[in-house]
Amino acid sequence: MAITALPFRMAGDRRDRPIYRMTYEVKIEKPPIWNDICFAFGIIPQKVLFTYGGTIYNPDNVKIPDDIIEHEKVHMEQQNHNVNDAALWWGKFLRDPAFRVDQESKAYAVQYRFVCKFVTDRNQRFNFRMELARLLSGPLYGNSISQKDAEKLIYKLSGVK
Ligand SMILES: [Zn+2]
């Protein structure tokens, strides 16, 4: 689950398209657990994507940046690419803030590492990391971690020096 409307986009993030070995499909509709998500989080902002099994649900039909594909692919792996595990994953995700932070920090770390392949400037990397940390610590995931801790976690998990 990620919002595509990042105010800060890295230059060059459309370059060097990765080879997508993992198959997935994108559906322009709300995810199966939409009502549960609304119940748990209240109003869902526009331009949010939801992975359910091997499918990315893109209800607002937004253009999905490559780094966010990488983010959602982590959730596909976490859900073992199938709808039964996706149902269990979402149930836990909506109930358990620690699980949310655990799963999302891994997805954001992969997203960050992907962008760092194209962006070597330390300040740009830091700004992007802070932007991801702002999202991870924000209302989209129930304000479950501080921004500073989120930034440290993304940095550590990314393995990027
Ligand atoms: Zn996510």
pLDDT tens digit string along 122-150?
999 999 999 999 999 999 899 999 999 99
> Around ion ligand 1, which residues have CB less than 5 A away?
1-2, 104, 107
Residue 112 contacts residue 156 (beta carbons within 8 Å): no
Cα four-point dihedral sign 24, 125, 131, 135: positive
Predicted TM-score (pTM) of the model is: 0.88
121 CA → ligand 1 middle, Å: 25
State in Å: Cα 105 to ligand 1 middle: 8
Do 136 and 150 touch, CB atoms closer than 8 A?
Answer: yes
The answer on pLDDT for 14 being more than 90 is no
With a cut of 70, say whether residue 93 has pLDDT above it.
yes
